[in-house]
Structure 1
């Protein structure tokens, strides 16, 4: 099925860079947006509009005529609440409300494991696990999941919330369970778009890892069947990894380093994320 118009927020980000090309092939018009000045060479059918998620009057016109929004725009780290309020909280409201006013059918949202980051990894939580945010960043994900649920219940506007664990190169022991490859990310977003009916759905964004700490069984109807497995990196990663400290929240909880930092303090600063965004 080919759509008339899709909108991608966060198009200048690392994950957005891998989504632009496949999304452009799913529609006649892909409108990519971010706060960056530009995003490189555009794909056939793609246009770019600079806009601030926190400003409704900038977001509202972009969604006119859109079938769906793939909402990946946000500050992607823990920050003081006041810094996250505009892009991560108000920005989500602006997307949902503008989408509703324009008759958008569905929103596919980049949620995060940090919405449930204070759950223990050993509990192997499902998609119905109660919210336990590990940070203000995770709280914004909880807010947006609840926003999507409310707009479905009250206004029959569909949404799929992708609780991404870690879509980055596997260079630490946690990532052996949490890795989401870019190919599996594209497959996940595609299934969230082309499944005929989704209502309000939550699904974990994780590859087919032997050590995955979450259960997607209740979202199986989406047809997401990841192919990649982080176990291929295990020998090299574990050779350089000391024994786990079972008293360290970063080791034992779903949120990893985000579960251990103080509120408002960067979680990414405790990680080694390689910026390998796709170049155009």
Structure 2
């Protein structure tokens, strides 16, 4: 590829994608709303742009072959707070991709698009949308947008329904963990698979307790290698008893399934900020 665009480059997951993506194209344009992301990798260039501003996003995507769209507010907020970056931002990405002839959008969707499904149901990639929050609703919107732009305008898309890409700190993560190495592999396969049309794949590692079925996405060639089971003995020894009446423990969305709409889902998740530094 000549030009690849990464949104959300200043975020934790974006920090692990920048280096491998910079090696996949002649030029990587990393973008976010911060003024600066520090040192850049060879072939990487940073441009600050607001997802909610179409003109800024269109300028960044001009001449791009593909865009890896990880930018957004990454937690539950009020609908009004999410409207610009998460809803309008998604529209701006796909519309700019269409107008500039971008071949494919690789999108950081989320398990929260189907977060109210029970974990015991072992859902596949064709499970109907069942969002757990306004945040999850935004993911549903973007997935449907991606499907429509493929059907009507032939913009390919791979929607990565990421479960939990962070250090394993709780019992839920024994099944939902996506390691950073597997994240890189997942995004790489979403980019280098010759034809994807509109596709959905769960972003999860090869965990013994994985609660979702990726078999219908096997054509992407994603074969995760890491397994959270090495943490099981320690995590389960410290875990509180299971409350079968709590949607946060019984549903795929975890804490997002039990919080009030508009209230943070991350607040109780003890996410360790191990952002990669160049």
For the aligned pair, the TM-score class normalised by the smaller chain equals over 0.9
Q: What TM-score results when the alignment is normalised by the length of structure 2?
A: 1.00
Aligned twin of 1:183:
181
Aligned twin of 1:52:
50
> 3-state DSSP class of the match of 2:249?
helix
Aligned twin of 2:163:
165
1: CA distance, partners of 2:141 / 2:150: 14
Aligned twin of 1:6:
4
> 3-state DSSP class of the match of 2:26?
strand
1: CA distance, partners of 2:15 / 2:79: 27
Aligned twin of 1:111:
109
Instruction: Please report how far the alpha carbon of residue 270 of structure 1 lies from its aligned counterpart in structure 2 after TM superposition.
Output: 1.5
Gaps of 5+ in 1: none
> 3-state DSSP class of the match of 1:7?
strand
Instruction: Please report how far the alpha carbon of residue 159 of structure 1 lies from its aligned counterpart in structure 2 after TM superposition.
Output: 0.2
Aligned twin of 2:38:
40
1: CA distance, partners of 2:117 / 2:141: 18
Q: What TM-score results when the alignment is normalised by the length of structure 1?
A: 0.99
Aligned twin of 1:17:
15
Aligned twin of 1:210:
208
2: CA distance, partners of 1:40 / 1:130: 41
> 3-state DSSP class of the match of 1:126?
coil
2: CA distance, partners of 1:249 / 1:270: 14
2: CA distance, partners of 1:199 / 1:182: 25
- Of 260, 264, 267, which residue of structure 1 is paired with 2:265? 267
2: CA distance, partners of 1:36 / 1:52: 9
2: CA distance, partners of 1:270 / 1:54: 28
2: CA distance, partners of 1:72 / 1:14: 10
Instruction: Please report how far the alpha carbon of residue 241 of structure 1 lies from its aligned counterpart in structure 2 after TM superposition.
Output: 0.5
Aligned twin of 2:133:
135
Aligned twin of 1:123:
121
Number of residue pairs aligned between Structure 1 and Structure 2: 278
Aligned twin of 2:251:
253
Instruction: Please report how far the alpha carbon of residue 40 of structure 1 lies from its aligned counterpart in structure 2 after TM superposition.
Output: 1.6
Gaps of 5+ in 2: none
Instruction: Please report how far the alpha carbon of residue 246 of structure 1 lies from its aligned counterpart in structure 2 after TM superposition.
Output: 0.7
